[in-house]
Amino acid sequence: MALDKFVDYVQLWQEKIFLGEEFLTWLWLCSEVDNNFVTQKGDNYEVWFENSLRLESGQGPTKRSVTCQNSNKDGSFEWAEAFTAVKMNKKVINARLRVRFEEREWSLTLPSDTLSPKSIKLLAGVDFKDENDAMATQAGTLIDRVVYFMELTQIIETLLGMFLKIRLSPDWAKEELPRLKGWISRWTGNED
Partner 1 sequence: MSFAKGGATFTRYRITEEPVGGITEDFIAERLTANAFVDIEETSEESSVGWVQFFNHLNSTFPLQVWSFSELAVFTLRSDERKLPNKILNRYLAIAVARFTEETGRAPNSVKKKELKDALRHDLLRRSLLDTSLLEVIWLTKINEIWLGAAGEKNRALFEEAWLRTFGLGLKILVPITIGLEILKKPLQDRLMELSDTTIFGLSGH
Chain contacts with partner 1 (rule: CB under 8 A): 1-3, 5-6, 9-10, 12-13, 15-16, 18-20, 22-23, 25, 29, 86-91, 111-121, 135, 138-139, 141-143, 145-146, 149-150, 153, 157, 160-161, 164-165, 167-168, 173, 177, 180-181, 184, 192
Smaller CB distance to partner 1: residue 41 or 73?
41
Residues 59 and 26 sit within 8 Å (Cβ to Cβ)? no
Nearest to 97 by CA among 182, 185, 38: 38
What gap in Å lies between CA 37 and CA 191, rounded to an integer?
25
Smaller CB distance to partner 1: residue 37 or 161?
161
DSSP 73-89: TT-TTTTHHHHHHHHTT
Smaller CB distance to partner 1: residue 1 or 63?
1
What gap in Å lies between CA 21 and CA 112, rounded to an integer?
5
Residues 99 and 45 sit within 8 Å (Cβ to Cβ)? yes
Closest separation in Å from C-beta 142 to partner 1: 5
Smaller CB distance to partner 1: residue 124 or 142?
142
